[in-house]
């Protein structure tokens, strides 16, 4: 009964298809004795995907755990429009609109398997839609571009990414032989997709990750349930263990116990800590560590970037980009442009745009005017239809849009981590090095399974870090 009420609060109806709450992995009062005997407790810093899953596994093992989160909501970079009360009226969409992660990569990946286990309704983006590609301000299907040699060469370059071997080369350097007219296209398909731009993204790091990846690479989206709701539902067992609005500023592990201090000067003592904050936060030294971070970790940190990132969602009165269009590749201020209603909305008239790297810095400086920059680019491709059909507020004539500027979010400060030219997969491993047997690190940037920068990477890092903690307790 209690569970039913919770599902309702989270917006999960029968349409969400969530049937199997008993599959939750955490302990219930009926569970047998703890698997890991430990008198102490563990504090997890950050209530994003990695932090929640870490706490969930530790709790299931009978370990006392608490989560400290700087922000005012659970989910981190999984954030859905429907949960943002101050923004919610800006979109008429009848499908989940995401401000952060929107694609589930791999039907058999960790996150894909979770969705399957809970019978959550999804769409396979590639089954319900086709991507379109922009060259010379014209948007067409891949098949319609095939006679264009430059397009074919560009797509061959994208497809061969995972065959690259070597290091010290940016994508831009590797693509130097391709003509200028395909530069924006491959920047959107590679540099922007992996969190940055072709000038900063390293070929070696991306190639190694793609080779390490084991899932089928399918692209799914949730049909009815916002991603943040499913994340909170999935980790319901640790929800009450989260203390919000608690920004950790220092972690001192020089004594017998670890002393954690927050921005208000409050202190907590614990036995072990798992830090899951975004790598941008560590790079900016927003948390001070004593003893300091391992040398190999700080050295690797200089080779893993996390650039500015913005999500812009715009509603239109008409779908002028094609009812069956999925992603549009090749734009600049619309580098990653997803037709968010495709296959899931009666009203398929919303674009969800993700811009990373230097272009995101440029747009961020424009503030709300960035929406006009985006409309202007769309107008150039679609003969003025963007400005003609954009939805506006009846009274104020303001364009109806939502801007989530992740680079300006104090506790995120960017999009997701990416390898710079000189980075290797070993650097990811070094980002997860512990300080002694007391301070551990997880989060998407530390993933070595090939899924860094995604929800799967965050989940895989939680599985890795909990094994490390258990080993530090049991010695096995
Ligand atoms: C625009 C955008 C689009 C994306 N698209 C996709 C996608 O389509 N598919 C996909 O799989 N992934 C996508 N991602 C990436 C995905 O969202 C992340 O990889 C994943 O959510 C990271 O989880 P995490 O737990 O590692 O970090 P986070 O979710 O960032 O969690 C870290 C938490 O730490 C908190 N924190 C920070 N500083 C402190 C502090 N000092 N004290 C306490 N708490 C602190 C933060 O508030 C945050 O809640 C996208 C990300 C963005 C930004």
DSSP 432-475: T--BTTTEEE-SGGG--SS-TTSHHHHHHHHHHHHHHHHHHHH-
Q: Name residues whose C-beta falls within 8 Å of residue 373's C-beta, 6 or more positions apart in sequence.
A: 333, 363, 366
In 160-223, which residue ranges form alpha helices assigned H by DSSP?
Answer: 171-174, 183-186, 203-212
Q: From the alpha carbon of 404, which atom of ligand 1 is closest?
A: 1
Bridge partner list, 270: 258
CA of 222 to the centre of ligand 1 (A): 18
Q: From the alpha carbon of 457, which atom of ligand 1 is closest?
A: 19
The pLDDT assigned to 216 comes to 97
Bridge partner list, 43: 66, 273
CA of 359 to the centre of ligand 1 (A): 20
CA of 194 to the centre of ligand 1 (A): 14
The pLDDT assigned to 90 comes to 57
CA of 106 to the centre of ligand 1 (A): 19
Return the best residue to mutate from 47, 73, 81, 100 for the ligand 1 pocket (most ligand atoms within 8 A of CB): 100
Return the best residue to mutate from 43, 44, 45, 48 for the ligand 1 pocket (most ligand atoms within 8 A of CB): 48
Q: How far is CA 121 from the centre of its chain?
A: 20
Cα torsion angle, 44, 50, 54, 60, sign? positive
The pLDDT assigned to 82 comes to 84
Q: Name residues whose C-beta falls within 8 Å of residue 124's C-beta, 6 or more positions apart in sequence.
A: 107, 218, 219, 220
Q: Tokens representing 142?
A: 């891949």
CA of 69 to the centre of ligand 1 (A): 12
H or E element in which residue 290 lies: strand 288-290
Residue with token string 């364009």:
399
The pLDDT assigned to 395 comes to 87
Nearest CA to ligand 1 atom 10: 454
The pLDDT assigned to 88 comes to 54
Q: Name residues whose C-beta falls within 8 Å of residue 147's C-beta, 6 or more positions apart in sequence.
A: none
In tens, the pLDDT along 344-374 reads: 988 899 999 999 999 999 999 999 999 999 9
Ligand 1, CB within 6 Å, residue ranges: 45-51, 68-71, 76-78, 100-103, 105, 247-248, 276-278, 281, 286-287, 309, 311, 354, 406, 411-412, 415-416, 443-444, 453-455, 457-458
Return the best residue to mutate from 326, 416, 461 for the ligand 1 pocket (most ligand atoms within 8 A of CB): 416
Q: Name residues whose C-beta falls within 8 Å of residue 42's C-beta, 6 or more positions apart in sequence.
A: 58, 63, 64, 65, 66, 270, 271, 272, 273, 274, 469
The pLDDT assigned to 8 comes to 33
Contacts 24+ apart (CB under 8 A), 214-218: 214/449, 214/450, 215/105, 215/106, 215/107, 215/108, 215/109, 215/112, 215/451, 215/456, 216/106, 216/107, 216/108, 216/109, 217/105, 217/106, 218/105, 218/106, 218/107, 218/112, 218/124, 218/126
Per-residue pLDDT of the chain (476 residues; tens, 9 = 90+): 333 333 333 333 323 334 333 334 444 444 445 688 899 999 999 999 999 999 999 999 999 999 999 999 999 999 999 888 776 555 567 888 999 999 999 999 999 999 999 999 999 999 999 999 999 999 999 999 999 999 999 999 999 999 998 889 999 999 999 999 999 999 999 999 999 999 999 999 999 999 999 999 999 999 999 999 999 999 999 999 999 999 999 999 999 999 999 999 999 999 999 999 999 999 999 999 999 999 999 999 999 999 999 999 999 999 999 999 999 999 999 999 999 999 998 889 999 999 999 999 999 999 999 999 999 999 999 999 999 999 998 888 889 899 999 999 999 999 999 999 999 999 999 999 999 999 999 999 999 999 999 999 999 999 999 999 999 999 88
Q: CATH says 126-211+306-408 is which class?
A: alpha beta
In tens, the pLDDT along 75-121 reads: 999 999 988 877 655 556 788 899 999 999 999 999 999 999 999 99
Q: CATH topology of 2-124+221-305+417-474 equal to that of 126-211+306-408?
A: no
In tens, the pLDDT along 441-474 reads: 999 999 999 999 999 999 999 999 999 999 999 9
CA of 226 to the centre of ligand 1 (A): 16
The pLDDT assigned to 34 comes to 66
Burial class (CB in 10 A: 0-12, 13-18, 19+), 94: middle
Nearest CA to ligand 1 atom 50: 101
* DSSP state, residue 194: T
The pLDDT assigned to 91 comes to 59
CB atoms within 10 A of CB 150: 16
Nearest CA to ligand 1 atom 14: 101
Burial class (CB in 10 A: 0-12, 13-18, 19+), 130: middle
User: Domain extents for the chain?
Assistant: 2-124+221-305+417-474, 126-211+306-408
Q: How far is CA 3 from the centre of its chain?
A: 28
Residue with token string 């290797």:
424
Q: CATH says 2-124+221-305+417-474 is which class?
A: alpha beta
Q: What b/e readout covers 453-472, taking b as 16+ CB neighbours within 10 angstroms?
A: bbbbbbbbbbbbbbebbbeb
Q: From the alpha carbon of 281, which atom of ligand 1 is closest?
A: 38
The pLDDT assigned to 4 comes to 34
3-state SS assignment for residue 372: helix
CA of 78 to the centre of ligand 1 (A): 6
The pLDDT assigned to 87 comes to 67
């Amino acid at each position: 009964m209690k569970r039913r009420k919770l599902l309702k609060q989270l917006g999960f109806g029968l349409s969400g298809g969530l049937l199997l709450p008993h599959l939750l992995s955490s302990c219930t009062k009926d569970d047998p004795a703890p698997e890991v005997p430990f008198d102490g407790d563990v504090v997890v810093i950050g209530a994003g995907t990695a932090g929640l899953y870490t706490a969930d596994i530790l709790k299931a093992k009978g370990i006392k755990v608490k989560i400290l989160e700087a922000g005012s909501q659970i989910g981190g970079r999984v954030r859905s429009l429907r949960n943002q009360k101050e923004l919610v009226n800006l979109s008429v969409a009848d499908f989940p609109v995401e401000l952060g992660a929107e694609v589930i990569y791999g039907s058999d990946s960790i996150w894909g398997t979770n969705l399957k286990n809970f019978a959550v309704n999804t769409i396979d983006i590639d089954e319900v839609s086709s991507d379109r590609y922009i060259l010379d301000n014209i948007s067409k299907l891949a098949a319609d571009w095939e006679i264009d040699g430059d397009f074919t060469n560009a797509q061959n370059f994208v497809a061969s990414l995972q065959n690259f071997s070597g290091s010290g080369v940016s994508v831009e350097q590797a693509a130097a032989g391709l003509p200028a007219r395909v530069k924006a296209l491959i920047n959107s398909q590679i540099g922007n997709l992996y969190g940055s731009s072709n000038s900063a993204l390293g070929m070696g790091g991306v190639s190694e990750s793609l080779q390490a990846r084991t899932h089928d690479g399918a692209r799914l989206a949730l049909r009815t349930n916002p991603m943040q709701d499913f994340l909170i539902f999935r980790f319901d067992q640790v929800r009450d263990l989260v203390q919000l609005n608690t920004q950790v500023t220092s972690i001192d592990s020089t004594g017998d116990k670890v002393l954690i201090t927050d921005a208000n000067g409050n202190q907590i003592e614990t036995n072990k800590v798992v830090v899951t904050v975004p790598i941008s936060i560590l790079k900016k030294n927003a948390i001070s560590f004593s003893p300091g971070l391992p040398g190999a970790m700080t050295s690797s940190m200089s080779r893993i970037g996390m650039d500015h990132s913005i999500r812009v969602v715009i509603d239109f009165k008409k779908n002028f980009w094609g009812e069956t269009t999925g992603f549009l590749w090749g734009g600049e201020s619309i580098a990653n442009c997803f037709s968010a209603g495709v296959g899931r909305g009666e009203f398929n008239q919303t674009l969800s745009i993700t811009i990373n790297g230097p272009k995101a810095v440029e747009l961020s400086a424009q503030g709300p005017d960035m929406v006009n920059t985006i409309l202007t680019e769309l107008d150039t491709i679609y003969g003025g239809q963007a400005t003609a059909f954009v939805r506006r507020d009846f009274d104020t004539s303001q364009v109806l849009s939502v801007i989530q500027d992740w680079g300006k979010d104090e506790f995120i400060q960017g999009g997701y981590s990416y390898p710079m030219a000189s980075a290797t997969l070993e650097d990811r491993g070094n980002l997860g090095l512990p300080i002694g047997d007391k301070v551990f690190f997880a989060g998407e940037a530390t993933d070595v399974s090939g899924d860094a920068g995604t929800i799967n990477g965050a989940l895989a890092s939680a599985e890795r870090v909990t094994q490390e903690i258990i080993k530090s307790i049991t010695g096995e």
